[in-house]
Amino acid sequence: MSVQWFPGHMHATRQAIAERIKAIDVIIEMLDARLPGSSANPMLAQITRGKPTLKVLNKQDLADPVRTQAWLDHYNSRSGTLAMGLDAGMAGPARALIKACHELAPHRGGMVKPMRVLIGGIPNVGKSTLINTLVGKRATKAADEAGVTKQEQRIVLADDFYLYDTPGVLWPKIIVPQSGYYLAASGAVGRNAYDEEEVALELLKALQGPYGALLEARYQWGWTPQAIAGMKDEELLAAIARKRGALLPGGRLNRQKAAEIVLTDFRTGALGRITLETPQEYEQWLQTALRVEAERAAQRKAKQDAGRGGGRRDAP
């Protein structure tokens, strides 16, 4: 199964961003610090190409600090890009966004040339919570659910600083399989677009090697991290079901309930500080996915060419 979710309002958002970008000075893209590569929207990058960009790794308090630093270094090495970590509930660091935007566009500021900033990101990444922190009131709706904000909003953070908030948006086709699973695990994908058990298994597969000790601390099986790393993801899910009493009549394991437990523990940070990917890992996944897509495109073209050739008739 591949996880895909692109409801109608996201298509409208893409069009709105493409129109708005003409008058924007700086782009703020909010990323999930637990999956920075998978939560970076390639569609947004294409639309906003050439604009100074601030990458904000939000929810850093839930992420692995060592891997967060690796991602900050990765993004800060890019031309025209700054990156910073953030917990959207922290007022002090949130104000640093304004300073960073002025660093990226020093020619903007004052009533004659007000700073115009567009903030975007995937659903449920914490944009609304951040904006409410910045303005000190509930300027936007905030909820732990994908797709709450449905239309663009302009927010005046200062007399010469305008922030345009856009709805959370994914992209039409998620070509990196790991990204689809991780986005679903984070809560960025609508619940009807994925199978929770399958996503939980993929999440456990990602966790059991680097974060086996955190799994043991949470579920207390009495196993070593090495033992956990060597197990199958199905075995781990079954062990969680038994440990948490997720049982059906007759003592059968309730795997759906166990999957919900795993996903909730990850989303709330109950498992500990976790980052599901490194810059190097994500780049490898992306290059593999691009090769697969190129091969599929070549196969489709070959079939189309063969079909057109088969329809020809030689002149008598």
Question: Residue 221 contacts by C-beta under 8 Å, 6 or more apart in sequence?
Answer: 228, 239, 243
pLDDT in the model for residue 145: 44
Which residues sit opposite 120 in a β-bridge?
29
pLDDT of residue 147: 44
What is the full per-residue pLDDT of the chain (316 aa) written as tens digits?
567 766 555 667 777 788 888 889 999 999 999 999 999 998 888 888 889 999 999 999 999 999 999 999 999 999 999 999 998 667 676 678 889 999 999 999 888 999 999 998 888 898 888 888 777 765 554 444 444 444 568 888 888 899 998 887 877 789 999 999 999 999 999 888 899 999 999 999 999 999 999 999 999 999 999 999 999 999 999 999 999 999 999 999 999 999 999 999 999 999 999 999 999 999 999 999 999 999 999 999 998 888 887 555 554 4
* Percent helix, strand and coil across the chain, each to the nearest 5: 50, 15, 35
Looking at residue 92, what is its pLDDT?
72
CA angle 44–87–144, rounded 5-degree value: 70
Separation between Cα atoms, residue 274 and residue 263, nearest integer Å: 13
pLDDT score of 150 = 47
The length of the chain in residues reads: 316
Q: 129, 136 in Cβ contact below 8 A?
A: no
Q: In this predicted structure, what is the pLDDT of residue 223?
A: 97
Tell me the domains of the chain and their CATH numbers.
10-165 (3.40.50.300), 177-268 (1.10.1580.10)
Q: What is the pLDDT of residues 24-80, one digit of tens each?
A: 999 999 999 999 999 999 888 888 888 999 999 999 999 999 999 999 999 999 999
DSSP assignment letter at 109: B
Q: Helices (H), strands (E): how many in the chain?
A: 12, 6
**Cα dist from 250 to 27, 155, 170, 244, 245, whole Å:** 56, 56, 42, 16, 13
Record the tokens describing residue 235, joined without a space. Answer: 């075995």
* pLDDT of 243: 96
Sheet harboring 26-32: ordered strands across? 81-86, 53-58, 26-32, 115-121, 161-165, 153-158
> What per-residue confidence (pLDDT) applies to 308?
82
Q: Is the pTM of this model over 0.85?
A: yes
